[in-house]
Amino acid sequence: MRAQIPIADKWSLLAYGDIGGFRNDSHTWQLIGGVGYAYSQSVSFKLGYRYYHTNYDHGGFDYDMNQRGITAGVGFKF
């Protein structure tokens, strides 16, 4: 699921989340929240915070991990 809510002329709030996996007792999910700035019609900037979780358990190997932190990006439209 993804949402982008305009809050000013070039500014917007961003929210993103997904969940997947569910095979072999494994799953993953993430949540992202942040702000976006449209510099022009073809260039945008994004800054936010991301939380990511994965749990993989297969054949005696168990990998359970959480990551979180700041995320930044630049987008180009052609």
d(CA 59, CA 24): 9
Domain boundaries, given as residue ranges, for the chain: 2-76
Query: What pTM, to 2 d.p., does this model score?
Result: 0.78
Mean pLDDT of 43-55: 96
- DSSP E strand stretches across 1-78: 2-6, 11-23, 26-38, 43-58, 61-76
Q: Are 39 and 73 a contacting pair, CB within 8 Å?
A: no
Question: Which of 71 and 60 is assigned the larger pLDDT?
Answer: 71
Query: Would the pLDDT of 72 be above 80?
Result: yes
Q: Is the pLDDT of residue 5 over 70?
A: yes
